[in-house]
Structure 1
Amino acid sequence: MTDLAHIRNFSIVAHIDHGKSTLADRLIQATNTVSERDMKEQLLDAMDIERERGITIKANTVRIDYVADDGETYVLNLIDTPGHVDFAYEVSRSMRAVEGSLLVVDSTQGVEAQTLANVYQAIDADHEIVPVLNKIDLPASDCDRVAEQIEDVIGIEATDAIQVSAKTGIGIRETLEAIIHRLPPPQGTLDAPLKAMLVDSWYDAYLGVIVLVRIMDGTLKKGMRVKFMSNGTLHNVDRVGVFRPGMQMVDSLGPGEIGFLTASIKQVRDTRVGDTITTDKHGAETPLPGFNPSVPVVFCGLFPVDSAEFEDLRDAIEKLALNDASFSYEMETSAALGFGFRCGFLGLLHLEVIRDRIEREYDIDLITTAPSVIYHVYMRDGEMRELHNPADMPDLTHVDHIEEPRIKATILVPDEFLGDVLKLCQDRRGIQEDLTYAGQRAMVVYDLPLNEVVFDFYDRLKSVTKGYASFDYHLTGYRADNLVKMQVLVNDEPVDALSTMVHRDRAEMRGRAMCEKLKDLIPRHMFKIPIQAAIGGKVIARETLSALRKDVTAKCYGGDATRKRKLLDKQKAGKKKMRQFGKVDIPQEAFISALKMDS
């Protein structure tokens, strides 16, 4: 067991691509935690998709032993966190397990939106923060300007910020010394009853659920009988260990240490993040203040392209949900797409990651329906219903009003693109709340409806600012607005997979665009097909797909005109009957393209 004064727990926080994972690699390398042979780029990013996209999705932890300049050996527990707004939840819970943070800022780009969001989470968790200016080996690096920016925008002292280049290894020793001298040691009592905070959990095929814990008080030993306080379940501890980054078994974990335990737990759902673990007998009286559970923000349907693969999809989704407690799902059926699942995600990147993992790891081709958010539908009798899927909208005669989720978005953008950004936010029904300047960059704060953001707001923002804008958001609550459900009818049959919720002022434009798109995508049949967009019983847009025609008069040469007329009338009657009973086949590509609306 390590003396508390010789332990330091810290996380690395930064905006996307400012060099968190690379800095973690250098710290691991400088302390010889991993042999040179096993060292590789982005060592802590284990998933293929993390390595491929160059992003961190799961917060990962590693224990480092460091011999300081004063000759003492210190134990450093490092947690590398994601930078993307969708995984802010991973960041918030990692913060509670540690006492300090290294704030990494790219010295060529300066403070970005996600830097702010992550720093505020660290400040909320009462962290000591050490600013680190990265990428000083690049010619565009300007440390003085960025240090000044950190002081202006965030308000923390940055005159003694450490200058490093995580790529070349400059300044790594100074960073390690700063961690020891500037970050506080953890607090905790050895003799008190065991109190351990559950930081994360994931499923392993051999060991069952692996639980990452931070010990606050007491000791955790192998063979103990422990109790999870939120649901009262009891388990016998099989093994206790630490990550260096591979698993290493230890006899016990004491106060201030971060490690893992396994106890033959079958389901990740039984191990709630933020729960308190204590001993079965003479345990702690009160649990630690947990953190709020993650709330899915974006919903969409996942359907297999080949309906025979439904059972495989169910297995894949159940396995993914084992490891990702923030991903929720329930079964649903659709007339157009067959059986599938309605899934909830923390954001669009989370959705993309899950979809890519299902397609890649389980080899299932998927159709994803339009992403939607949760609406609150207030009925005339005072009841409030949550609406996850526009197709389930109750009859409008019983609805009093509909509320939609709103977000507070912070956008940092260079001055010359400010006009385009303001126009984009205005077009998405945004309300401007604030506009300030930090050096050459404007910081805009907008109140926006979430359903306007989940489609392609981020892509549009990147394209109008040539990639220079950075964007961060958090939910602020619900507000009533004039929202309606728009249905698409093909040959007078409603297609439920294409129903969407839109603002009444936008409905006509949206409907017309959808009908025009479908007209190009649906193949022609032997009869005329009307394609309509409707709100309730009122049609707001229509396109007609003309019929394929067979020339039935080709055989008639010469003779009376009535012979031709007779054949044409017969054809006309046949087409009328066909239109009545004919079935329109809408190809899968049409669904996918029609849902990728926006221009």
Structure 2
Amino acid sequence: MSEQTFDTIRNFSIVAHIDHGKSTLADRLIQVTGGLTEREMKAQVLDSMDIERERGITIKAQTVRLRYDHSDGKTYTLNLIDTPGHVDFAYEVNRSLAACEGSLLVVDASQGVEAQTLANVYQAIDNDHEIVPVLNKVDLPAAEPARVREQIEDVIGLDASDAIEISAKTGLGIDAVLKAIVERLPAPKGDLAAPLKALLVDSWYDSYLGVVVLVRIIDGTMKKDQRIKMLGTDAVYDIDKVGVFSPKMLAVDSLGPGEIGFLIASIKEVADTRVGDTITEEKRPCTEPLEGFKPAQPVVFCGLFPVDAADFEDLRDALGRLRLNDASFSYEMETSAALGFGFRCGFLGLLHLEIIQERLSREFDLDLIATAPSVVYRIKLTDGSEIELHNPADMPDEVKVREVAEPWLRATILTPDDYLGAILQLCQERRGIQVELSYVGSRAMVVYDLPLNEVVFDFYDRLKSVSKGYASFDYHLTEYQVGDLVRMSILVNGEPVDALSMLVHRSQADRRGRAMCEKLKELIPRHLFKIPIQAAIGAKVIARETISAMRKDVTAKCYGGDATRKRKLLEKQKEGKKRMRQFGKVEIPQDAFIAALKMDD
């Protein structure tokens, strides 16, 4: 069996920091190669979800096949995978890169190298990619291509002397990019005669076709009516259709080595198609499976509850349908005394959580309450066993707990020098440990070890506000470390509100508790009786605020006469209030919950 090189195919992805122009460059490439007519073109054509278009971010990696006529007389097939730039979707980037041989590294010529640029380009280097640096937005008055070239060489260590200067918005330099893809990126290798071996890159659910599976063929051919087997799950399917995205779905007779396309085989659930699995022929299987990827691990958990208990079944249905399309999202049922029935859901990060919540309310018209996001803790009990804790309300009694370990991450922050002090202070407040501080031109690069628990709340928002939006941030999880963590419960009118309980570091508990009580005091409307709000660790109250009662003027109808009449009425009112406080239920409005959970300092 001999390996051939497929000269006229190029597989590449575009890697960049958020907002450096990946999707716009993809638009121009599609337009210039005639993938879509002028009438079908729209901005960010590969961002198909409404949320992607509104927020201007890419969430799902998308793929498109382009035809390019080179000056050497050959027609080349270019397979482009547009990847997300946000840190929550790093696993999407990873699997897209595994399907390609080369990458275009897009850097904004006015902003320079950012934290995510580094993270994504290192992933590409790990995948043995040939990298072509592209300087975008050179038409901006603030563009400094020469400085950014130097930066790429200093920070990343890539030779940027032949970086291509383009403007994806105006179309300047797009031909040079297409030329470089053909001339500087390697062609894929593969064996046409070998048994079929294909990498499952991605899969999503289509209500008409079932599961659509995106594949990269390594060896052999894939065609209609072939009987295939997934090596990871041992499932067997008959292929109904194979095709490519141009970016419209286009059926083809067969896919050969080096090609990227899709297959449809009446698969019912996305969960049956594991990303990174190897697809082969049932009768003539390949011997070695491909390496695949680590499954995406949820790092942030939060409870989702319907505002109206009658919507519970609709919520279950909606989560099931979202799970069809997003295998990285997990959920299980849970109940809460304050909020009734709901689900405990796992996410890759806060942006992922926000997007799932927004999709639930928008696509399925659901009103939801989300509990405080928490991370996964590992708890060693005194009897020697170890448990994973997803929900702070389930924390075992303190007497039974020997130690609590929490996940830590390594964060890289790039910032202009002016904001360095404020950022160092923010990281120290969040129990950060400084690893290194170096300079890249006029910008500082800070590396910190931080507990995920501190980052999950509002670290990103705070970082953006203290740096006026100039700092960029990237992280990856490192390890679990034992910490002095305690469960802080919030009591309203003596009743614990389980949705607001959280695990905090003992040194931060007083500050957090006080802030939470003050916030709830503003948010909970006054009732006819006094309401105490307390933060407690175990039986010890660490903070308290009181919402004063609304008073009806019961003496209004007394004109003149004896003072004892007034006193009698006031005593009666007092008795009533006391009884009310005993039996009265405090209604916490939903927006108060949401606002209380968005803890900012």
CA shift, 1:570, in A, is 4.2
Q: Aligned with 2:7: secondary structure? A: helix
Counterpart residue number, 2:495: 493
Cα distance in 2 between the residues matched to 1:563 and 1:170: 88
Aligned-pair distance for 1:75? 0.8
Give the match for residue 543 of structure 2: 541
Residue 510 of structure 2, aligned match among 508, 511, 528: 508
Is the contact between residue 5 and residue 188 of structure 2 (CA under 8 Å) also seen in structure 1? no
> Structure 1 residues 523, 140: CA separation in 2 closer, same or farther (over 3 Å shift)?
closer
| Structure 2 match to 1:90 | 92
What's 1:415 paired with?
Answer: 417
| Amino acid paired to 1:248 | L
Cα distance in 1, alignment partners of residues 104 and 494 from structure 2 = 60
Question: How many pairs align?
Answer: 598
Secondary structure, counterpart of 1:38 in structure 2 = coil
How has the CA–CA distance of structure 1 residues 59 and 559 changed in structure 2, closer, same or farther, with 3 Å as cutoff? closer
Identify the residue that residue 443 of structure 1 maps to in structure 2.
445
What corresponds to 1:123 in structure 2? 125
Q: Which residue of 2 aligns with 1:305?
A: 307
The reply to whether residue 596 of structure 1 matches residue 598 of structure 2 is yes
Question: Residue 285 of structure 2 aligns to which amino acid in structure 1?
Answer: G
Distance 2:382 2:81 in 1: 50
What letter matches 1:407 in structure 2?
L
Deviations 1:336-378 (A, max 9, x none): 2222221111111111111111111112122222111111111
Counterpart residue number, 1:275: 277
Instruction: Please give the per-residue CA displacement for 1:158-195, whole angstroms capped at 9, x wherever unaligned.
Output: 10111111111111111111111111111110111110
1:586 aligns with 588
3-state secondary structure, aligned to 2:313: helix
The residue aligned with 2:12 is 10
Q: Provide, for residues 228-272 of structure 1, a one-character-per-residue CA deviation record: whole Å limited to 9, x for no partner.
A: 000100000000101100111111111111001010000000000
* Equivalence for 2:52: 50
Equivalent residue for 1:426, pick from 425, 428, 432: 428
The two structures have a TM-score, normalised by structure 1, of: 0.97
Distance 1:68 1:203 in 2: 36
For 2:412, give the aligned amino acid. Answer: T
Q: 1-side partners of 2:461 and 2:193: how far apart?
A: 54
What does the per-residue CA deviation read over 1:494-544, in whole Å, with 9 as the maximum and x for residues that have no partner?
A: 111111111111111111121122222222233222211100010111122
Counterpart of 2:393?
A: 391
Which of 477, 484, 503 is equivalent to 2:479?
477
| Counterpart check, 1:104 vs 2:117 | no
SS in 2 for 1:520: helix
What is the deviation of 1:576? Answer: 2.9
> Percent identity over the alignment?
73
Equivalents in 1 of 2:158, 2:353: separation in Å?
Answer: 35
* Aligned match for 1:406, one of 405, 408, 421: 408
Secondary structure at 2:19's aligned position in 1? coil
- Counterpart Cα distance in 1 of 2:523 and 2:411: 35
Residue type of the partner of 2:205? Y
Contact 2:5 2:187 in 1 (8 A): no
Is the contact between residue 61 and residue 96 of structure 2 (CA under 8 Å) also seen in structure 1?
Answer: yes
Moved more, 539-548 or 100-109: 539-548
Distance in 2 of aligned mates of 1:390 and 1:99? 44
Question: Which piece of structure 1 moves more, 2-11 or 191-200?
Answer: 2-11
**Pair 1:557–1:467, CA change in 2 (3 A):** closer
Q: Any unmatched runs of 5+ in structure 1?
A: none
Q: What TM-score, normalized to structure 2?
A: 0.97
Per-residue CA deviations over 1:472-508 (Å, capped at 9, x if unaligned) read 0000011111111100111111111111111111111
Q: Map of 1:148-547 to 2, 5 A cutoff?
A: 148-547=150-549
Distance in structure 1 (CA, Å) of the matches to 2:402 and 2:263: 51
**Partner Cα distance (2:560, 2:114) in 1:** 80
Q: Which runs of 5+ in 2 are unaligned?
A: none
C-alpha deviations, 1:199-224, integer Å up to 9, x for none? 00000111110000000011111101
Cα distance between partner residues in 1 of 2:586 and 2:433: 43
Which secondary structure state, in structure 2, belongs to the residue aligned with residue 310 of structure 1? helix
Q: Shift of residue 562 of structure 1?
A: 5.7
CA RMSD of aligned residues (A): 1.6
Q: Which SS does the other structure have where 2:190 is aligned?
A: coil
Deviation at 1:569, TM superposition (A): 4.3
**2-structure distance, mates of 1:47, 1:557:** 68
Matches within 5 A, 1:553-572: 567-572=569-574
Counterpart residue identity of residue 98, structure 2: R
Stretch deviating more after TM superposition (2-11 or 366-375): 2-11
Deviation at 1:545, TM superposition (A): 2.1
Cα 1:197–1:572, aligned 2, differ >3 Å: closer, same or farther? same
Q: What code does the residue aligned with 1:195 have?
A: K
Hey, what's the Cα distance between the residues in 2 that align with 1:58 and 1:496?
A: 34
